[in-house]
A and B are shown apart, each in its own frame.
Chain A
Amino acid sequence: MTLFKEKARPTEGRKLPQILQRFDGDMTRELLLSPGRHGLGMTPETLQADATVTSVCGYCSTGCGLRLHLQDSSAVGLTPETTYPVNMGMACPKGWEALRVLESDDRAQFPLLRDSSGTLSRVSWDAALSEFCNQFKAIQAQHGNSSVAFLSTGQIASEEMAFLGALAKFGMGILHGDGNTRQCMATAVVAYKESFGFDAPPYTYQDFEESDCLVFIGANPCIGHPIMWERVLRNRKKPEIIVLDPRRTETAMAATQHLQLDPKSDLILLYAIAKYLIDQRLIDLDFIENHTEGFTELVQHLQPYSLEYAEQATGLKCSDIERAAYCIGSAKAASLWWTMGVNQSYEGVRTAQAIINIALLTGNIGRPGTGANSITGQCNAMGSRLWSNTTNLFGHHRFDCQEDRHKVANLLGIPESNIPTQNSWTYDQILAGIEREEIKGLWVIATNPSHSWLDQSDCREVLSKLDFLVVQDMYESTETAQQADLVLPAAGWGEKEGTFINSERRYGLHRRVRKAPGEALSDFNIFRAISHYWGTEELFDQWQTPEDVFRSMQAASEGQPCDISGIEGYEQIDRCGGIQWPWSAEDAQANNKDDPEQERRLFADGKFFTESGKAKLIYATPQEMPEPPDHSYQFLLLSGRGTVSQWHTQTRTAKSPILRKLYPESPIVEINPRDAEQLSIRNGMTVEITSRRGSMHATAWLTPTIRPGQVFVPMHYEGTNRLTLQHFDPYSRQPSFKDCAVSVSAATS
């Protein structure tokens, strides 16, 4: 198809000679595109490739395939992979800029050790690793093995997590370790484990396209997961889209129904919906009977949650709740999706289970377009859940189960006695342990608690009590690295390889296509080096490459719901556009060794992973939030994702000049114009936001999308967590980031 012929020179009426009107020259040629090879289309010089490979993106759990343009095996640029089954040729701005952030000036290039004058200065790897071992061993010798702990991440490869978990717990004798996934997904994990018997998000992205009714609870995929939203818009069934969110978000705007409920009234609303469904017989009694437990008790529990009661508690109209509930109950295929609005709550587990209950009651599980579906946060939060060896023993086994310990010990060829018999402390408990001076040494990998943890000032103070703090990160500029005694420079995404597991349980591969700066090493190789210096090299000598670890993971998964023993190896994962778990050796056998289908979901047979094989209907009495607004702190602070182009503490996203242009440089606070008028605040003014724990300055952004009495601050700015309140879900120990009281006033500058 040719739409028109590009003319080198115009003809009509313009006959000026080139000397007078220069249509060509060096500057014009700078933007010349040439026909791209490898099916790339017209390509600028900067993106010209002599070969391409596919890697899954290293930001969020969507797990998009990115086509890396290689010149001499080194990536010069990227475009979204056209055929990858997740993103279908598209990517969000973060993905487009994934390579650029590797080139930042503040990359950690050499090990840094705090010297006697208190400054971090360059040392050799030998010195750094010796110091690492000497310090931690000395602490352990004096205060016991459990006095050293680690905080890991959802941002490194499964194989690296597996190595870290094994090295720390089976090699170094560490007892307590947790991940920053505690901040994003712990609630979903616990909810699934209790309800389904395993941490098993049941869906595949095709469900976005096949659902007649999509319910988003505390989720704003337009901004948080834009490529999942792409899949929603590919739904040709004109689905009903229902959004439960206190803010009028982009997703709420695109929905057919927005239930703009009062913050933290979601549990009551979900109970009222469940009760309505039961009362109106919009439920699947067969399914309930055969595949669930606890129905009678649930019906009993739901008694008080009438529509009228919910109207009072949520601020919504009865008729709106009824309409939404009816749509869910009458849809052929309804799916319910949640993310941080639910997970980051002091009663998140029960809220997630209230969502699961609705799916179970209506039989919306195991069929196309259905499910109670947790949308994950980080690129490898799912990998962390299975392989980090923190909450669960390697491969979703149990530390407190002798049989499991025996199995894992055999499989990895390590003495069973090296495996702790106790569960680890959670993130908040580890920090509390430091506070109580029971933990004296901490190893932080690819996360930034000094920015991202609740009540930040307190967190920084706690970390400063440590005898030895090691930070292993791509960047030496993170707030936590600045506090560290030792910084280990890590290679980043693109400079190493391994697998991530995305939200829909898909193992995807990322490849090494860039040289790491300076002496930075992949996390995998840092773990190998530590193991060497710690003296546990023989214990892990079967793990020379990430794929070696992957094979151990396959062996450990055998017989588990997350069985991946049927995967041939990295090559097959790459060839298939990722492979979802489960894919057991039997599955592969039954499939004549053909590649698995690209989109698969769980529970088609109605069999769950509980002992009885039935899903559990779990509920609790809703609780009040601990710090509601009052006379002195009149506003409720909501926090969350700011824009698509910002990620977490902006350790990476802030390093791309073009991304930086896509969001406000300094913090903003969204305030309802009515509140602003009362406070004499004009759009663009600098205001001070204060909580009982700290304060920050932000630019006032007047918008009616936030309700009066509430303010919203994006989480990416360093000041935000100075305000937040330490409180947690009692079951998942996940922080409740989105509810604390603040005051707002025009800043006195």
Chain B
Amino acid sequence: MRNTEEKVDSQTFLNDLLAQQQDLSAVEAFSVNASSAIAETPAQSRYYKSLLPASPPSPGEQYAFEVDLDKCSGCKSCVVACHSLNGLEEEESWRKVGAITIGAETPELKYYTSACHHCADPGCLNGCPVLAYDKDPLTGIVKHLDDQCIGCKYCTMMCPYEVPTYSSRLGIVRKCDMCSQRLASGEAPACVQSCPNEAIAITRVATPEFADETQCVAPGSAPSNITLPTTIYKSEKQVDPNLAAEQGQWMDEPAESHWPLAAMLIGTQASVGTLVIFQLSDLIRSSSARVELLVLAAAFILAVAGLTVAPLHLGQPSRSWRIFLGLRKSWLSREGVLLGIYAGMLSSTVMLAASRFWLAPESLLNAAIPSAISRVLPWFTGLIGILGLFSSGMIYVATKRSLWQASRTLPLFAGTAVVLGFAWLGFAYSLTAGYPAYSIGCSSIGVLACVLKWNLESKLLPSDKISSELVARSQVLVSGPLSGLGSQRRITVFAAVAFTGLASILASSDYQLACSAFLACGALSLTAAEYFERLLYFKSVVYPRMPGVIQ
């Protein structure tokens, strides 16, 4: 045993070592470069000078990334340098690198490094509802305006190359701006200056005006005619895209669920469906003021429910009042504005119906409003609603994703309106005595329509050659990781059948309240079923991608 003196000595010694470990002054001993002068040219410029264009673009030209595939060895330094030199978040980089193999016997392996393609016709910019993208007229650089972005993520769907990425910390997306601050001072972008093999350069290109649908920037990526990307991949060896296989093929992950969007779509579609079907049925036999009020109120509640959930999808809801800015190009703007007007008009319609129901016809309010308006307003509201629904559909159609093409999206969305319109109408009718045939009839049509829609959905999938692989990949998701959603949908459809069946048994009995309750459950079940359908629509989408890393 060591004695106490030794112990004290040891402790002092240890304390010294621990203190030493926390002292950084030794680094100052020599060779610290502390000159604070701002150098005329950065030290690294000797390596990248030749990788920048000699002069700015002429009219009709813009800057573009040029990647030499024969030089890229797949080290991914560009990805990390982009992260580091731009001060991005822990997992954020605006570049990605993926591999493809070409051929089978003596295959070629090629790495594709990609960032924003600074497209001539940028999908992000075209889709943005608040003009948070700007294409610089001189350089062609597509810049994202971080303080304008409302975090709706629509650009992440509109960009065929998955370039804008969402930051949950900031509630906005961010993307590559070709290091425009560096270019403006004559420096190379982070990726260009960090590539050990000089594989990435900035070049001037004629701004593309046209691409045919067979052209793509990389094998397996989206056709270039969607957004006219500008990145050039060059290689001395010709790449035959037919022989190319991306490393991650058949390794799709379920896409984002966008659940607030799904809820919004279901709510507004149910609302418009209820209103329009009621108006049509009213042509056959006009209903009492009570029925009218209840139906319109139901439609209003559905719309409000949907529209209230929608902002949960936004990262920066307080900025979303600017949503009208994009009306010229963005279907999302149009949807937002139209559905907003729809909700407003619907509330007026409800108020008019209420006044007709509660106030005497000769009361001041009823007298002040010409009856023509009362009659036309619901129709007009319905029309705006239908335009709103159409815009909802076009939001997804505009992404040019095969699985979201118009021939699938629009019938699905319209189908939801029909299914839920009948279902909720049936319920609303049941709240007033004297409409048993109407209520059971409508509810049953709703259930039948749902079953029919469910069975016809697979026929809506695109069947052309290019899409068939996407459909098959999507099916792998549906039958694999998303099979739970499928089961939930099945259960809710069966539940709706059962509830509606029970209601029809009770319809002619004295248990009106129970009948209404069952119809309400039936309508709720169908709403849930349609919600699951919509989640599947979002989560099972696959599309051509740039080569990327499999996680």
What 1/0 mask marks residues of chain A from 535 to 554 whose CB sits below 8 Å from any chain B CB?
A: 00000000000000000000
Q: List 13 A-B contacts (CB under 8 A).
A: A3-B184, A21-B145, A31-B86, A38-B35, A39-B42, A74-B24, A226-B73, A254-B70, A491-B21, A519-B18, A575-B31, A704-B103, A704-B107
Q: Which residue of chain B is the closest to A668 with respect to CB atoms? A: B550
Contact among A37, A90, A496, A663 for B37, CB-based, below 8 A: A37
Across-interface contacts of A457 in B (CB, < 8 A)? none
**B362 contacts partner chain A, Cβ-Cβ < 8 Å:** no
- Are A96 and B34 neighbours in the complex by a CB distance under 8 Å? no
Instruction: Report if A533 contacts B (CB, 8 A).
Output: yes
CA of A70 to CA of B73, assembled, Å: 32
Given contacts A23-B134, A33-B86, A704-B101, 4 further A-B contacts (CB under 8 A): A82-B47, A90-B47, A658-B90, A662-B76
Interface residues on B, range: 35 or more
A426 and B20 CA atoms in complex are apart in Å by 35
Determine if B14 is an interface residue (Cβ-Cβ < 8 Å): yes
Tell me whether A298 is interfacial, beta carbon within 8 Å.
no
* A229 in contact with B197 (CB, 8 Å): yes
Residues of B within 8 A of A227 (CB): 196
What is the total number of residues of chain A having a CB less than 8 Å from a CB of chain B? 124
Q: Are B44 and A73 neighbours in the complex by a CB distance under 8 Å?
A: no
Contact, CB under 8 Å: B247 / A701: yes
Indicate if the CB atoms of B42 and A532 lie closer than 8 Å.
no
Given known contacts A4-B139, A70-B27, A521 and B76 CB-to-CB distance under 8 angstroms: no
Q: Does B17 contact A (CB under 8 A)?
A: yes
Q: Which residue of A lies closest to B108 (CB)?
A: A253
Residues of B within 8 A of A77 (CB): 84
- Interface centre among B33, B39, B47, B249, by most A CB within 10 Å? B33
Known: A21-B325, A96-B77, A661-B549. A4 touches B90 (CB 8 A): no
CB distance from B71 to the nearest CB of A (A): 7
Chain A CB within 8 A of B433 CB: no
Q: For residue A645, which residue of chain B has the nearest CB?
A: B76
B457 close to A (CB within 8 Å): no
Q: Which residues of B contact A514 (CB under 8 A)?
A: 24
- A41 is contacted by which of B26, B53, B184, B187 (Cβ under 8 Å)? B187
Contacts of B81 in A (CB 8 A): 96
Q: Report whether A659 and B80 are in contact in the complex, using a CB–CB cutoff of 8 Å.
A: yes
B103 CB contacts on chain A under 8 angstroms: 704
Q: Is the CB of B47 within 8 A of A223?
A: no
- Complex Cα spacing A22 to B172, Å: 14
64-108 of chain B: CB within 8 A of chain A: 70-71, 73-77, 79-81, 83-87, 90-93, 97, 101, 103-108
Q: Which A residues touch B13, using CB under 8 A?
A: 529, 532
The smallest beta-carbon distance between B20 and chain A, in angstroms, is 7
Among the listed B33, B83, B549, B551, which residue makes an inter-chain contact with A38, where contact means beta carbons less than 8 Å apart?
A: B33
Whether the pair A515, B22 counts as a contact (CB closer than 8 A) is: yes
C-alpha gap A658/B85 in the complex (Å): 13
Which residues of A from 1 to 22 have beta carbons under 8 Å from B? 1-7, 10, 12, 14, 16, 20-22
Cα–Cα distance between A514 and B24 once the two chains are bound (Å) = 7
Contact at B249–A683, with CB atoms within 8 Å? yes
A664 touching B549, Cβ below 8 Å: yes
- In A511-566, which residues have CB < 8 Å from any B CB? 511-516, 519-522, 525, 528-529, 532-533
Smallest CB gap from B17: residue in A: A525
Say which residue of A125, A571, A644 sits within 8 Å of B74 (CB atoms).
A644
Contact B139 A665 (CB under 8 A): no
A657/B91 in contact, CB under 8 A: yes
Residue B209 interfacial (CB < 8 Å): no
Q: Is A306 an interface residue (CB 8 A)?
A: no
Partner of A1, one of B18, B186, B247, B325: B186
| Bound-state Cα–Cα, A547 to B197, Å | 36
| A21 and B75 form a contact (CB under 8 A) | no
Which 6 A/B pairs are nearest by Cβ-Cβ distance? A44-B87, A25-B147, A41-B42, A6-B184, A684-B251, A230-B196
- Complex Cα–Cα for A14 and B131 (A): 11
Residues of A within 8 A of B42 (CB): 36, 39-42
Instruction: Assess whether B328 is interfacial by the CB under 8 Å rule.
Output: no
Asked if B74 and A223 sit within 8 Å, CB to CB, the answer is yes
Interface contact B79-A27, CB-CB below 8 Å: no
**Bound: A77/B472 CA distance, A:** 46
CB within 8 Å of A: which of B312-333?
Answer: 322, 325
Cβ of B511 < 8 Å from any Cβ of A?
A: no
Chain A hits for B17, CB < 8 A: 521, 525, 528-529
Give the residue name and chain of the B residue nearest to A666 (CB). Answer: B551
Say which one of B175-183, B279-287, B539-547 lies at the interface with A: B175-183
B196 touches A226 (CB 8 A): yes
Write the nearest CB–CB distance from B392 to chain A, whole angstroms: 25
Report if A32 contacts B (CB, 8 A).
Answer: yes
Q: B242 interface residue, CB < 8 Å from A?
A: no
The reply on B146 being an interface residue by CB < 8 A is yes
Hey, which chain A residues are within 8 Å of B247, CB to CB?
Answer: 701, 703
Contact partners of A480 in chain B: CB under 8 A: none
Q: Tell whether, in the assembled complex, residue B109 and residue A51 are in contact, meaning their CB atoms are under 8 Å apart.
A: no
CB-defined contacts of A39 to chain B, threshold 8 Å: 39, 42-43
Are A35 and B27 closer than 8 Å at their CB atoms?
A: no
Q: How far is the CA of A93 from the CA of B17 in the complex (A)?
A: 33
Give the distance in Å from the alpha carbon of A248 to the alpha carbon of B106 in the complex: 8
Pair A250/B73 contact, Cβ less than 8 Å? yes
Question: B14 contacts which of A2, A126, A515, A574 (Cβ < 8 Å)?
Answer: A126
Given A3-B56, A23-B147, A571-B30, A658 contacting B83 (CB threshold 8 A): yes
B187 touches A42 (CB 8 A): yes
Q: Give Cα A14–Cα B198 distance, bound, in whole angstroms.
A: 37
Residue A625 CB within 8 A of the other chain: no
Query: In the bound complex, do residue A26 and residue B147 qualify as a contact, i.e. CB atoms below 8 Å apart?
Result: yes
CB distance from B255 to the nearest CB of A (A): 16
Contact A657 B90 (CB under 8 A): yes
Which residues of A in the span 192-238 have a Cβ within 8 Å of any Cβ on B?
Answer: 222-223, 226-227, 229-230, 233
Give B34-55 interface residues, CB cut-off 8 Å to A. Answer: 34-39, 41-47, 52-53, 55
From B44, B170, B193, B550, give the contact of A27 (CB < 8 A): B170
Question: Is B363 positioned at the interface, with any CB of A under 8 Å from its CB?
Answer: no
Residues on the A chain within 8 Å of B7, using CB: 126
B159-210 with Cβ < 8 A to chain A: 170, 172, 174, 179-187, 193-198
Query: Which B residues lie within 8 Å of A53 (CB)?
Result: 27, 31-33
* Residue in B closest to A514 when the chains form the complex, CB atoms: B24
A156 to B474, CA, bound (A): 50
B213, CB-defined interface residue at 8 Å:
no
Q: A10 vs B143: C-alpha distance in the bound complex, in angstroms? A: 11
- A673 contact set on B, CB distance < 8 A: 104
Residues of chain B lying within 8 A (CB to CB) of residue A571: 29-31
A683 touches B24 (CB 8 A): no
Contact A93:B31 (CB < 8 A) given known A41-B42, A658-B83, A704-B107? no
Do the beta carbons of B90 and A522 come within 8 Å of each other?
Answer: no
Residues of B within 8 A of A88 (CB): 47
Q: Contacts A93-B79, A93-B80, A684-B251 given: A254-B73 contact, CB under 8 Å?
A: yes
Pairwise interchain contact B325-A20, C-beta atoms closer than 8 A: yes
Instruction: Decide: A27 near B146, CB < 8 A? Known: A79-B85, A223-B74.
Output: yes
- State whether the Cβ of A623 lies closer than 8 Å to any Cβ in chain B: no
Q: With the chains together, A87 CA to B196 CA distance in Å?
A: 8
CB of A516 within 8 A of CB of B131, answer no
Q: Which B residues touch A119, using CB under 8 A?
A: none
Chain B nearest CB from A716 CB (Å) reads 15
Q: How far does the alpha carbon of A644 sit from the alpha carbon of B97 in the complex, in Å?
A: 12
Decide if A104 is an interface residue (CB 8 Å cutoff): no
Q: Is there an interface contact between A664 and B325, defined as CB atoms closer than 8 Å?
A: no
Bound-state CA distance A31–B149 (Å) is 15
The residue in A31, A42, A91, A511 that gathers the most chain B C-beta atoms within 10 A of its C-beta is: A42
Task: List CB contacts (< 8 Å) of B520-551 with chain A.
Answer: 549-551
Whole-angstrom distance from the CB of B129 to the nearest CB of chain A? 12
**How many Å lie between the Cα of A125 and that of B13 in the bound state?**
11
Interchain CA distance A2-B181 in the complex, whole Å: 11
| Inter-chain contact B197/A10, CB cutoff 8 Å | no
The docked-state distance in angstroms from the alpha carbon of A79 to that of B174 is 23
